[in-house]
Amino acid sequence: MILSDFDLRNYIKTGRLKIEPFDESIIRENGLDLRLGNKIARLKRTDKVLDVLNAQNANIEDFYEVEEGNEFIIYPNEHILLHTLEYIKLPPELMGFVNLRSTYARLGIMAPPTIIDGGFEGQLTIELIGSSFPIKLRAGMRFIHVVFAKLTSPVEKPYSGVYQGQRGVTLPKIFGNFRVV
């Protein structure tokens, strides 16, 4: 069952679904529009090979460049990680499907499918792939749409993985020297 705006308001009002900071304008007909935070991580183009089974020995700066600001230009075909302004906390009976808002999809930006597990809490880190032309994004703009589904029963093991409680752009935690920025 997909939650409607009525259902979402009730989940938020009772504190079962937590959204901080909350603004009524992010509630849409069948989901929430989350806003862009103020940090991005650009995936670098490099000839260096990252061995994912031995990444703890790699230098994370060889593969990512982190920026902070209020405006970001996404260059053609560039891969970036960005984060939501909102910190969310899902109860164990809800999960979310993250989609790029259609305006940005129509500009040629792509976002791979992302799922939010029941029990997850944190700011979301989302990958975007640039269009065929540069596009400027600004912190605070609504850029993703999250559709929430009620599970047939609460998950027995709510999410408790390595990304629980993340804030800002969270880089892959396969690096031994990882950092949350």
How far CA 103 is from CA of 35, 108, 175, in Å, comes to 14, 9, 34
- pLDDT at residue number 59: 87
Q: Assess if residue 21 is contained within a domain.
A: yes
Overall number of domains in the chain: 1
The catalytically annotated residue of 67, 71, 127, 156 is 127
Q: What is the CATH number of the domain that holds 11?
A: 2.70.40.10
CA proximity to 124, closest of 19, 28, 54:
19
Q: Assess if residue 134 is contained within a domain.
A: yes
What are the tens digits of pLDDT across the range 87-114?
999 999 999 999 999 999 999 999 999 9
Q: Please say if 127 is a catalytic residue.
A: yes
Is 70 exceeded by the pLDDT of residue 23?
yes
Q: Assess if residue 66 is contained within a domain.
A: yes
DSSP for 112-166, written as a single string: --EEE-TT-EEEEEEEEE--SS-EEEETT-EEEEEEEEE-SS--SS---STTTT-
Question: Domain limits at 55?
Answer: 5-150
Strand 64-68 and strand 18-20: the pairing is: unpaired
Q: Assess if residue 114 is contained within a domain.
A: yes
Q: Assess if residue 87 is contained within a domain.
A: yes
Neighbours of 15 (CB within 10 A): 9
For residues 60, 97, 165, 44, the Cα torsion angle rounded to the nearest 10 degrees is 10
What are the tens digits of pLDDT across the range 132-147?
999 999 999 999 999 9
Is 90 exceeded by the pLDDT of residue 45?
yes
Q: Assess if residue 155 is contained within a domain.
A: no
Q: Assess if residue 169 is contained within a domain.
A: no
Q: Assess if residue 160 is contained within a domain.
A: no
pTM for the full predicted model: 0.92
